[in-house]
């Protein structure tokens, strides 16, 4: 029961975050919204795993937490330089 309430609260929060992602106005607002949306998904996956008694969902949540972090950094890099590999990296190699 409480788990269901938590899941619904998370879903509402995710919906509101999506509104911010759609409104923008700047690209950074959108990235911020998507990043926190990812955090919420991780939490939701955990709660959902408990709700349906399938703890396997925790593994997905774990992987999602890492992918969310890396994708945020990758997107930021892409917007800063227009490419995923920065010139700096090429030199040091």
Alpha carbons 48 and 35: distance in angstroms, whole number: 20
| Residue 28 found at the interface with other proteins (CB under 8 A) | yes
Binding status of residue 34 toward other proteins by CB under 8 A: no
**The one among 73, 84, 85, 86 contacting other proteins by CB under 8 A:** 73
The angle at the Cα of 30, spanning 26 to 36, to the nearest 5 degrees, equals 140
Closest CA to 64 of 49, 52, 53: 49
DSSP 8-state code for residue 24: -
Radius of gyration of the chain (CA): 17
DSSP state of 55: T
State in angstroms the smallest separation of the CB of 85 from other proteins: 15
Asked if residue 43 binds other proteins (CB under 8 A), the reply is yes
By CB under 8 A, tell whether 62 contacts other proteins.
Answer: yes
22, 41, 52, 79: residue in contact with other proteins (rule CB under 8 A):
79
Q: Which of 80, 82, 87, 90 binds other proteins (CB under 8 A)?
A: 80
When binding is defined by CB under 8 A, the residue of 22, 41, 69, 82 that contacts other proteins is 69
Q: Which tokens in the block code for residue 91?
A: 């030199």
């Amino acid at each position: 029961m409480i788990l269901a309430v938590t899941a619904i609260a998370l879903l509402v929060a995710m919906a509101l975050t999506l509104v911010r992602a759609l409104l923008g106005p700047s690209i950074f607002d959108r990235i911020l919204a998507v990043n926190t949306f990812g955090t919420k998904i991780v939490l939701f996956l955990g709660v959902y795993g408990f709700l349906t008694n399938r703890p396997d969902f925790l593994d997905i949540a774990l992987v999602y937490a890492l992918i969310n972090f890396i994708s945020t950094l990758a997107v930021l890099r892409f917007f800063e330089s227009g490419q995923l590999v920065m010139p700096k990296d090429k030199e040091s190699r």
